[in-house]
């Protein structure tokens, strides 16, 4: 079981898209005039303010090309001991818009009990609009075990006929 705390009553509850979905969707929480931390393509840290459409029915931010932004979710996760939540990009955002996670896969440890942010990167050449309530990432509750780490004096022996990495097993 994963308990969540909503910082605001308007925060969307994470949910599975289908009965067989492996991950739950996580939405952006970007209320009008809220501040979002961003980094320009020259690594300057800036604060972006969420703006609203003319009718003020939806708030959003626009992420310039090659910028990194920490998207607030408005969630604090209460992850059970012995577990973590892995955060993945949503395939549609990555493929169709060029929004990826900065670190490919995010890890939220069980002992982290602060607000969750989704670190995104605009990999496209266009500004990308992220609206309040947009599903921007997906999460998976995963059981973990810490390995016993032992330093040994001998190099491990070859276990297969493979040589090296980075494509050493071929394409087919």
Domain ranges of the chain: 3-143
Question: Average pLDDT in the 45-74 region?
Answer: 91
CATH class of 3-143: mainly beta
Roughly how many angstroms between the first and final C-alpha of the chain, as a whole number? Answer: 40
Comparing 138 with 57, the larger pLDDT belongs to 138
DSSP symbol at 103: T
Strand 15-16 versus strand 3-6 pairing type: unpaired
CA distance 50 to 55: 14
Cα dist from 51 to 10, 40, 72, 116, 165, whole Å: 17, 19, 15, 21, 47
Q: pTM for this one?
A: 0.87
Q: How confident is the model at residue 168 (pLDDT cuts 50, 70, 90)?
A: low
pLDDT score at 22: 95
Sign of CA dihedral 29, 90, 108, 20: positive
**What is the average pLDDT value for the chain, to the nearest integer?**
92
Question: Average pLDDT in the 55-69 region?
Answer: 90
Joined tokens for residue 88: 């993945």
Q: pLDDT tens across 96-138, in order? A: 888 999 988 999 999 999 999 999 999 999 999 999 999 999 9
DSSP symbol at 93: I
């Amino acid at each position: 079981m994963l308990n969540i705390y909503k910082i605001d009553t308007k925060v969307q509850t994470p949910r599975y898209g289908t009965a067989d979905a492996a991950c739950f969707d996580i939405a952006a929480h970007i209320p009008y005039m809220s501040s979002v931390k961003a980094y320009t393509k020259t690594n300057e840290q800036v604060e972006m303010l969420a703006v609203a459409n003319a009718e003020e029915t939806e708030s959003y931010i626009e992420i310039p090309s090659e910028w990194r932004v920490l998207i607030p979710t408005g969630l604090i996760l209460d992850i059970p001991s012995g577990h973590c939540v892995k955060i993945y990009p949503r395939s549609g955002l990555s493929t169709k818009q060029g929004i990826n996670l900065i670190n490919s896969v995010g890890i939220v440890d069980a002992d982290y009990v602060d607000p969750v942010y989704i670190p995104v990167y605009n990999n496209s050449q266009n500004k990308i609009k992220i609206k309040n309530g947009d599903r921007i990432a997906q999460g998976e509750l995963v059981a973990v075990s810490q390995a016993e780490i032992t330093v040994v004096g001998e190099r491990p022996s070859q276990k297969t006929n493979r040589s090296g990495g980075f494509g050493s097993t071929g394409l087919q």
